[in-house]
Amino acid sequence: MAKPDHTSARTIVSAPSLSPATIAKPDLISVEQAKAMDVAAMTDLFKAHLNPGQLHFMKLLGFHKIKIERAEGMFYIDQNGRKILDFFGGFGSLAFGHNHPRILEARKKFQEEKRQEIAIAFMSQYAAALAHNLAKCSPGDLDMVFLGSSGSEAMEAAVKLAERAAGPKRPKIVYAENSFHGKTKGVLGITDGQLYRADFKMADNTVRIPFADIGAVERLFRSDPEIGVIVLETIQGGGGIIQAPAEYWQDLRALCDQYGVLWVADEVQCGYGRSGRFYAFEHYGVVPDVTALAKSLGGGKAAVGAMIARREVYMKAYGTPKTAMIHAMATFGGMGEACVTSIEALNVLYDEGLIDNAAVTGDYLLQRLRALKEKYPKIIKDVRGKGFMVGLEFHDFSQTLPMVLRPIVSVLDDKLKGSLSGFVGALLLRDYDVLVAFTEYNRNVIRLEPPLICQREHVDRFVDAFDSLLSRGIVAIVKDFVKSQVR
């Protein structure tokens, strides 16, 4: 048989000698060399080792030209000393802005005193204190805590706990259209995005329903006794900053109690004070059975996620010595410095009144944006949100153009979705030094999640910049963006 004319993708290398003296150090980059790296070198390494495809989108938005040298408060500072106002906020990960001094000091003291970092064999005073603090911040009997390193991990823990507590006779899990609960394999099955699902094999015990449709929930609970868990974002982030009315959540709580279904509230993005309450569900006077936090829980300096459950539910799942280790903390759950960071961050959150600021200054942001909607009704379709979790939705592209062009362009609206958001985001950064974000499923939406330290002066700077940009008119915005791509 002839050999194939292509080489194997597997490379065979000989094993090194067991003598350490013969092992040469690879060509590694030092910390100082990394700090001094220029944009061209960063781009080469990003293409070679990280995500070449993502670079395409960074180039479209002009983000590839920027090297962030440092960050402080509400601002990034780039290689040219330019201060970029952060209204992106790391998808809600920067409640305290960049490098809050109290959080830096707590981490510095932890390091200087050489305190323990990984304490798997022993109990950790820092993990225990963080769990206590989270229980104190949580309403009702949400008081049992699992610590992890990300929102996906926290949601994996939440869904596993709820499924196990529901029992083997009620294995089905309900999730909503346009939901986002993470990209890891388990919660991917309740993340309603084909881009992320791709061609992976999903779990077969999930049921999809419309978001905020209480009739659909009731019909499903009534017709299928195998439903044991329902998982919902209190405010849908990736879906375009979508909320349900208060009565929906109150009726949902009543239906879950009536049918014995466990409610998991995903607060990874909308929680931790972002909505103007510690949890967004607190606006509606209800308490879920299990919830999850992450993002800003790490104070912008550590990767921390947490599941918080009602004790009765937790004990049902893992309450005996025989079942206690089924889902115990992983290696990096409850790391010392990460917990200390989160402990200090929670104290800062309340000491500095940041939840109240999110409510008051967030309302001011919404008021100013709604005034712009009135000023540019043919461009801005909707302004919505709560606190510092705001969605600004544009009309389809054809509807923003002069009347004579609309019939021609309307046939391309679906393909052009997200283009105006991209143009505006790119030009806000290039011309006004303002950074904004986008949403996964409704690409016509700009997502605004500034740090909770944001003040009226920052809101005014952002809104004035946005107003100035829109005043150019859509045709000029498109031309300006096209020019930026050929420079």
> What's the whole-number mean pLDDT along residues 76-103?
97
Cα within 13 Å of Cα(51), Cβ side: 8
Q: What confidence score (pLDDT) does residue 20 get? A: 61
What's the rounded Cα separation, in Å, for the pair 405 and 398?
Answer: 7
- Does residue 8 surpass a pLDDT of 60? no
Averaged pLDDT for residues 270-299 = 98
| Confidence (pLDDT) at 195 | 87
CA gyration radius, the chain:
24
Helices H / strands E in the chain, number of each: 19, 17
As a whole number of angstroms, the distance between CA 246 and CA 256 comes to: 16
Confidence label for 409 from pLDDT (cuts 50, 70 and 90): low
Q: Could you tell me the pLDDT band of residue 1, with boundaries at 50, 70 and 90? A: very low
Under DSSP, is residue 306 helix (H, G, I), strand (E, B) or coil? strand
> What pLDDT sits at residue 321?
92
Higher pLDDT, 60 or 408: 60
Q: For 392-406, write each residue's pLDDT tens digit.
A: 999 987 677 777 666
d(CA 104, CA 367): 34
pLDDT one-digit tens code per residue, 129-169:
999 999 999 999 999 999 999 999 999 999 999 999 999 99
- Bridge partners (DSSP) of residue 391 are 384, 447
The mean per-residue pLDDT over the stretch 295-316 comes to 97
Instruction: List pLDDT tens digits, range 339-362.
Output: 999 999 999 999 999 999 999 999
How far is the C-alpha of 382 from the C-alpha of 444, rounded, in Å? Answer: 10
Q: Give 3's pLDDT tier (boundaries 50, 70, 90).
A: very low
* 36 CB-side CA count, 13 A: 5
Choice between 479 and 262, residue whose per-residue pLDDT is larger = 262
Region 236-256: mean pLDDT is 97
Return the amino acid letter for 466. Answer: F
Compute CA distances 295 → 35, 87, 274, 354, whole Å: 25, 15, 11, 16
What are the distances in angstroms from CA 426 to CA 1, 75, 200, 395, 439? 57, 17, 33, 18, 15
Does residue 244 or residue 397 have the better pLDDT? 244
Q: What is the model's pLDDT at position 402?
A: 73
Q: In angstroms, how far is CA 286 from the centroid of its own chain?
A: 23
Q: Would you say 449 and 411 are in contact if contact means Cβ atoms under 8 Å apart?
A: no
Under a CB-based contact definition with an 8 Å cutoff, are residues 442 and 405 in contact? no
- Tell me the average pLDDT across 97-103: 98
- What pLDDT shows up at residue 348? 98
Of 154-158, 207-211, 391-395, 418-422, give the lowest mean pLDDT range: 418-422
Mean pLDDT within 210-238: 98
Element (DSSP H or E) covering residue 235: strand 235-236
pLDDT of residue 397: 72
3-state secondary structure of 261: coil
Q: How high is the mean pLDDT of the chain?
A: 92
pLDDT at 391 over 70: yes
Q: Whole-angstrom Cα distance, residue 277 to residue 254?
A: 22
End-to-end CA distance of the chain: 55
Res. 210: pLDDT tops 50 = yes
3-state secondary structure of 384: strand
Note the pLDDT tens digit of each residue in 26-58.
999 999 999 999 999 999 999 999 999 888 888
pLDDT of residue 32: 96
Lowest-confidence segment of 16-25, 123-132, 166-175 by average pLDDT: 16-25
pLDDT at 181 exceeding the cut of 60: yes
Average pLDDT on 73-88 reads 97
Angle at 263 between CA 258 and CA 269, to 5 degrees: 150
Q: Which residue has the higher pLDDT, 241 or 7?
A: 241
Least confident among 5-19, 246-260, 278-292: 5-19
- In this prediction, residues 4-25 reach a mean pLDDT of 67
Q: Is pLDDT above 50 for 89?
A: yes
136 Cβ contact list (under 8 Å, min separation 6): none
Find which of 16-30, 192-206, 274-288, 387-401 is predicted with most confidence, using mean pLDDT: 274-288
Q: Sort strands 206-209 and 227-233 into parallel, antiparallel or unpaired.
A: unpaired
Q: How many CA atoms lie within 13 A of 117 on its CB side?
A: 7
Strand partners, 174: 207, 230
- Which is more confident, 432 or 486? 432
3-state secondary structure of 141: coil
> What CA–CA distance (Å, rounded) separates 124 from 194?
41
Which residue has 């607190």 as its token pair? Answer: 282
In 245-352, at which residue ranges do the beta strands (DSSP E only) sit?
262-266, 290-293, 305-310
Residues 459-471: pLDDT tens digits?
A: 999 999 999 999 9
Q: Say how far apart CA 453 and CA 299 lie, in whole Å.
A: 12
Instruction: For residues 435 and 76, give the distance between their C-alpha atoms in angstroms, rounded to a whole number.
Output: 9
